[in-house]
Structure 1
Amino acid sequence: MDPTQGDPTARALREAGERRDWRAVRDLLVPVTDPDDHAFYVSAVADVTGVQEWIGEWIDAEPRSTLPVLVRGAHAVYWAWEARGGGRASQTRQEQFKEFFRRLKLAENCLDEVADRDPDDTTARTFLVTAARGRQVDRDEAQRRFDDVVARHPWHRIAHEQMLQYRCHKWFGSHEEMFDFARTAVAKAPAGSPLGQLVPAAHLERWLDLPSGEDAAYLDDDAVRAELNAAADTSVRHPGYQARPGWATVHNSFAMAFAMSGDLRSAAGQFEVIGDLVTASPWQYLNGRDPGAPFTAWRRKAMAAQG
């Protein structure tokens, strides 16, 4: 899998981060003004291993800039989840939880500083929405963080994805809340918005929470297929849709939901757009160690069905 999703700027950012070249990271990030693009590109470098070992040099060199503090805070969110690991709470050691919370506190301190110093920022505020789950903040605080983002950019894709997760039954919400959030956001979004992805994401979360047997039956339903197609028609299949950096995640969500609902022709349409740009989310729900395996298996079925 390509963590940059084939994006040349994201690839350059990761390469600069890996060689600890903060000047190159700065020069690549400074020109980015679109809030969605900015969050995606900050994520690209923040997810590089070892950022915490060199980011202090950038902060010391440019103390007036919020950008290095933002990268440090965003990286600390990824760094925290790395410490926790991917297991369930019952499978996670107390030492892991302790380090998880320590790193999340560092993340929030940095992100809060950026938000205080830059009233127009959306990226730090988006990462605070992500951190809300790990820090187990209450519902009012999580909503406040999300509102801080959408007050500045109403259709912020990553902020919506992260708030959907907070409202999932497996975190701090319920299936009803999750679907209400997804459907309301999609209904309000402009035609062609990538937020249509929230609908397949919600259905996959519901599927994931069901026992074996009931899960397949849930997706194999005419009403589910109809809602997935309606969401695609107003987003990724709408003439006004434009693929922005990070677009592959949106199409992979639709592809998996269509495939597992039995609508293989609609799935094939998404696989044609995706090419080989498989993303961990949501295919990791089928195979956490190798998300590419279910992706290729379902793509083969979908293409065969299309003929």
Structure 2
Amino acid sequence: MRVDRAQGDPTAAALQEALGRRDWRTARDLLVPVTDPDDHAFYVSMAADVTGLQDWIGEWVDAEPSSTLPLLVRGAHAVKWAWEARGGARASQTREEQFKEFWRRLKFAENCLDEVADRDPDDVTARVFLVMSARGRQVDRDEAQRRFDDVVARHPWHRIAHEQMLQYRCEKWFGSHDEMFDFARSTVAKAPTGAPLGHLVAVAHLEKWLDLPVGEDGEYIGDDAVRAELNAAADASVRHPDYRRRPGWPSVHNSFAMAFALSGDLRSAAGQFEVIGDQVSEWPWQYLNGRQPELPFLEWRAEAAGASG
């Protein structure tokens, strides 16, 4: 088993295949019909993951200067390209030249995304990626909130925007554990039942678990109160009768599966693994094995299956 970059989505796979061979016309025809803001951001994110896109996407931009779509894909890709330059290490372990290239690429990305937002006031996806880039650009709290508000004013329960804002509010970035949990809990409390955003609670617990010393981490996430909150969040979202899978659904269920597994609630974890099947996502399992996230996924899936009978 390996992580599927398209997350099992046929449209995402076709999109990545087309862009991999520099066929922007096919990519355009796959993206244009997508109107739901959550789905659109997911597919643009899939396009942005294509390696080497920066080498030729100028051809698409030049060919369709009146369209904001190629500029959007270029800007979204540049955000992810910037994070490639920085790497996944903590700031103290990142070289100065990496930071310089990181900031250069992020500035280019934001120039593209700002132009899309200026030209198309209704565009949501460009604004989502500006929320994503806020951490890297180290914008202040007011600016980060303004970017997030620009998204939710147009689409109140946008999944990726909420995920990115949660990260901004993490202690390892510009917030605190309390602020992170306040954001996650208030979002879940206000969101429609069956919305996937319940996983923000699982992500918050994983982030705090990750930040604690060995020994304290297991004691924390195995607490009865944590397990109870994880189950309540799942009942309000992915286990609610109104829940429907949307493009990008595997990451939501993988977050719950890992949180349940680490908490010791293997029966609940097994339920999530059953939904996931083989659609392991890189995040959050990379917290356990950065190079081969599928390995801890398989280990915990087997343990959860055994425990649940």
TM range (shorter): over 0.9
The within-5 A match list for 1:25-104 is 25-104=27-106
Cα distance in 2, alignment partners of residues 256 and 89 from structure 1: 26
CA deviation vs aligned residue, 1:143-182 (integer Å, no higher than 9, x gap): 0000000000000000000000000000000000000000
Amino acid at match of 1:259: A
Question: CA separation in 2, counterparts of 1:76 and 1:301?
Answer: 39
Offset from partner CA, 1:84-107 (integer Å, 9 cap, x none): 111111221111111000000000
Please point out which of 210, 213, 217 is paired with 1:211.
Answer: 213
**1:189 to partner: Cα distance:** 0.4
4+ runs deviating over 4 angstroms: none
2: CA distance between counterparts of 1:276 and 1:24? 28
SS of 1:114's partner is helix
Q: Give distance in 2, aligned partners of 1:92 and 1:203.
A: 26
Query: How far, CA to CA, are the matches of 1:258 and 1:77 in structure 2?
Result: 31
1:163 maps to: 165
Q: What does residue 154 of structure 1 align with?
A: 156
Aligned to 2:143, the other structure's residue is in SS state: helix
Letter aligned with residue 205 of structure 2:
H
Q: Secondary structure at the residue paired with 2:70?
A: helix
Q: 2:136 aligns with which of 134, 137, 141?
A: 134
CA distance in 2, matches of 1:197, 1:3: 20
Is 1:180 aligned to residue 155 of structure 2?
A: no
The code of the aligned residue for 2:90 comes to R
**How far did 1:39 drift?**
0.4
Counterpart check, 1:288 vs 2:290:
yes
Name the SS for the 1:48 alignment partner: coil
Q: Which amino acid aligns with 2:213?
A: P
User: Could you tell me how far apart the structure 2 residues matched to 1:68 and 1:197 are?
Assistant: 31
Question: Structure 2: which amino acid aligns with 1:178?
Answer: M
Q: Which residue of 2 aligns with 1:3?
A: 5
Q: How many residues align?
A: 307
Q: Deviations over 1:210-267 (max 9, x none)?
A: 0000000001111000000000001000000000000000000000000100100000
Q: 2:300 aligns with which of 279, 298, 301?
A: 298
> Which amino acid letter does the alignment assign opposite residue 30 of structure 1?
V
Q: C-alpha distance in 2, partners of 1:106/1:285? A: 29
- Give the deviation of 1:200 after TM superposition: 0.2
Distance between the aligned counterparts of 1:20 and 1:265, measured in 2? 45
**What pairs with 1:243-254 in structure 2 (closer than 5 Å)?**
243-254=245-256
String of CA shifts for 1:113-156, please: whole Å, max 9, x gaps.
00111111110000000100000000000000000000000000
- TM-score, scaled relative to structure 1: 0.99
Q: Distance in 2 between matches of 1:124 and 1:243?
A: 23
Give, in angstroms, the shift of residue 12 of structure 1. 0.4
Amino acid at match of 1:92: T
Percent identity over the alignment is: 80
TM-score w.r.t. the length of structure 2 is 0.99
Please tell me the residue identity of whatever aligns with 1:68: P
Distance (Å, rounded) in 1 between the aligned partners of 2:117 and 2:5: 27
Letter in 2 for 1:281: W
Gaps of 5+ in 1: none
What residue number does 1:241 align with? 243
Q: CA deviation at 1:3?
A: 1.1
Amino acid at match of 1:220: G
Match of 1:265 among 241, 264, 267: 267
